[in-house]
Amino acid sequence: MFDIKFQGLRIEPTLSASRELIKEGKSLYDVLEILEEGYNSSASKRKPNIIEKSIRKGNKEYKAVVAKTEVAYPDGFKEAVWRLIHFGKIGYKKERRREK
């Protein structure tokens, strides 16, 4: 599960992001698809090491936010990874409200 890579670095979810993925019934393969094929959806300026991308599927928009971080393991090994910090879904109605 953790061998999925984006730009040569593994994607590793945080505990809360893992829960968000499970809630939506998605996997890290879906996150990879969003990062590779999605559009930049940052509502505000982000730090250079953070990527926020979205993709629309039907009347839903899925968003993934990853941060490039370094992880140190107990044996002293360090590696750079993309840490999935948020995964979410936004729903859209096909019909807009009419103004009165």
- Cross-strand bridge partners of residue 9: 6
95 or 11, which is more confident? 11
Reported as a single tens digit per residue, the pLDDT across 15-24 is 999 999 999 9
Give Cβ neighbours of residue 42 (< 8 Å, ≥ 6 apart): 52
- Give the chain's domain count: 1
Asked whether residue 99 is domain-assigned, the answer is no
Reported as a single tens digit per residue, the pLDDT across 56-98 is 988 899 999 999 999 888 998 999 999 999 999 988 766 655 5
Residue span of the structural domain in which 68 resides: 5-91
The closest alpha carbon to 10, from 60, 61, 69, belongs to 69
**Confidence bin at 31 (pLDDT 50/70/90):** very high
- Mean pLDDT for the chain overall: 87
Asked whether residue 43 is domain-assigned, the answer is yes
Asked whether residue 97 is domain-assigned, the answer is no
Neighbours of 21 (CB within 10 A): 18
Which strand (E) or helix (H) includes residue 20? helix 15-24
What confidence score (pLDDT) does residue 68 get?
Answer: 95
Enter the pTM of the model.
Answer: 0.81
